[in-house]
Amino acid sequence: MDKNMLSKYSFGIGDRFTHQGKYQLKAFIEAEKAGVNITPVWNKSYREHTTVGSKPDSVLGQAQKVTKELNWKHSFAVDADHITLETVDEFIPHSNFFTVDVANYIGKKADQISIDLFIKRIRSLFLDELKIRGLDKPLNLTISNIREVANKFLFAIQHAAKICEYIKSKKGDEPFLIEISMDEVEVAQTPVEIFLILHMIVQNQIPITTLAPKFTGRFNKGVDYEGDLKKFESEFEDCLILMKYGVQHLGMNSNQKLSVHTGSDKFSLYPIINKLIKKHRTGLHLKTAGTTWLEEMIGLAEAGGPAFEMAKSIYKESLERYDELTGPYQTVLNIDLNKLPTAKEIDTWSGTLFCESLRHVISNSTYNPSFRQLIHTSYKVAAERGNEFYGLLKDNEEIIGKNVYENIFFRHIKPLFID
Ligand SMILES: [Zn+2]
């Protein structure tokens, strides 16, 4: 594994239609000018590829093209996002970062021998309670507690190990990075769970670079965090401390770090995250979700003419196909149907009104999170418009690019890493 593939800070950028790489990368160049090195990680999931009809090689192709064009001298990564054993094959030649999603395996029970062995090992190392400096409470490591955690997570980690071995068997000596993600579950993992999960990861010899736990609260797509900020703060800090514990005491990768999924637009969390990663001098990976696609829609509306017509027509069709489009995202949306403008209303809207309703500026009273979340899901409609849509992206490249860049740099990277 090449440990130098990610800097301390890395930032996942999704680009559904592979048109905005240049403007996304520009935000990293600005960060570098401000003295902060951040590795760009272009991520795209199997679901996104299927929805827009693209293939994993296009992500790598664009990354290579724009890093050359903008003379980016540092590393970059291409993330096969939320892959499983069934979907990973096509990604392998074109990715150097694999997000192994174990959410579906949590709660499935490993074989009894592995569970008993795990309990025995942990008990040979620790007594009932373990104090870790920085954590509020000692970790409760009684046999029954360990058993409960092993019953819930060991199978999932064993499965992750299987996927990693499979990738390794295909990649050979070529270095790649592993993230284990368990964010797509209902309940946040406790400190004891994280602690024991790290042990399972080490015992199963998975060389992770990042771990994406679930945090309390709602990480809805395209909008700010909804939840208890104090609770998030303490969970996030506990996770940082435990990840550091893994490096210092379990021999995990020295550059291993936490990953925050659906991290775009979580503006109320950024000052907390910024403060804590600096306090603990740890790294961070933050993965965005669809925020660039929303800037494409804003740019089209701002451009006016046929571009604005396209943006309006995509929205109107999304209204008609509401159930189909929002279905796959049901658990990560919070749309107030009464707040969605009707097709008739949209026809009377100016480009400015459309932009201001969509652009994520909380202080602007026109901003409409319900409108924004529906449009988050409507990229499928855009993809169906095919060349007509792609042509408009090209024709209005500059105005769209400006929105893409400003969103990533000023609203995300700056408050997260620089301020
Ligand atoms: Zn995720």
Last residue of a domain, one of 289, 321, 346: 289
What's the structural domain count of the chain?
2
H-state helical runs in 131-286: 143-171, 191-203, 229-250, 270-279
Residue 195 covered by a domain: yes
Last residue of a domain, one of 235, 255, 289: 289
15/293 Cα distance (integer angstroms): 7
Model pLDDT, residue 309: 98
Domain span at residue 318? 292-407
- Tell me the pLDDT tens digit for each residue of 126-171: 999 999 999 999 999 999 999 999 999 999 999 999 999 999 999 9
Residue 120 covered by a domain: no
Same domain, yes or no: 178 and 272: yes
Residue 187 covered by a domain: yes
103 Cα to the center of ligand 1, angstroms: 9
Residue 333: which residues within 8 A CB-CB, separation 6 or more? Answer: 220, 221, 326, 373, 376, 377
Contact 18, 54 (CB under 8 A): yes
Identify the CATH number of the domain in which residue 30 sits: 3.20.20.70
Residue 132 covered by a domain: no
Same domain, yes or no: 172 and 306: no
305 Cα to the center of ligand 1, angstroms: 37
Same domain, yes or no: 267 and 317: no
Last residue of a domain, one of 263, 289, 315: 289
262 Cα to the center of ligand 1, angstroms: 6
Phi-psi group of 4: left, alpha or beta (phi > 0 → left; psi -120 to 50 → alpha; rest → beta):
alpha
159 Cα to the center of ligand 1, angstroms: 17
Residue 354 covered by a domain: yes
186 Cα to the center of ligand 1, angstroms: 13
As given in the structure block, the two tokens for residue 401 are 């690019």
258 Cα to the center of ligand 1, angstroms: 12
Q: Provide the β-strand partners of residue 208.
A: 178
Question: What is this structure's pTM?
Answer: 0.95
82 Cα to the center of ligand 1, angstroms: 7
266 Cα to the center of ligand 1, angstroms: 14
Residue 419 covered by a domain: no
90 Cα to the center of ligand 1, angstroms: 19
Angle, CA 394 vertex, CA 389 and CA 399 arms, to 5°: 105
- Tell me the pLDDT tens digit for each residue of 94-121: 999 999 999 999 999 999 999 999 999 9
* Three-state DSSP state, 101: strand
181 Cα to the center of ligand 1, angstroms: 6
Contact 160, 104 (CB under 8 A): no
141/127 Cα distance (integer angstroms): 7
As given in the structure block, the two tokens for residue 263 are 């991290």
Residues of the chain with pLDDT under 50: 1-3
Same domain, yes or no: 319 and 242: no
211 Cα to the center of ligand 1, angstroms: 10
Residue 362: which residues within 8 A CB-CB, separation 6 or more? Answer: 224, 267
Same domain, yes or no: 68 and 204: yes
Same domain, yes or no: 193 and 328: no
DSSP string, 251-288: ---TT-EEEETT-TT-TTTHHHHHHHHHHTT--EEEE-
Residue 89 covered by a domain: yes
Same domain, yes or no: 319 and 254: no
Same domain, yes or no: 280 and 303: no
Same domain, yes or no: 336 and 232: no
Same domain, yes or no: 310 and 190: no
184 Cα to the center of ligand 1, angstroms: 6
Same domain, yes or no: 180 and 72: yes
Residue 95: which residues within 8 A CB-CB, separation 6 or more? Answer: 56, 59, 60, 78, 79, 80, 176
Same domain, yes or no: 248 and 204: yes
Residue 272 covered by a domain: yes
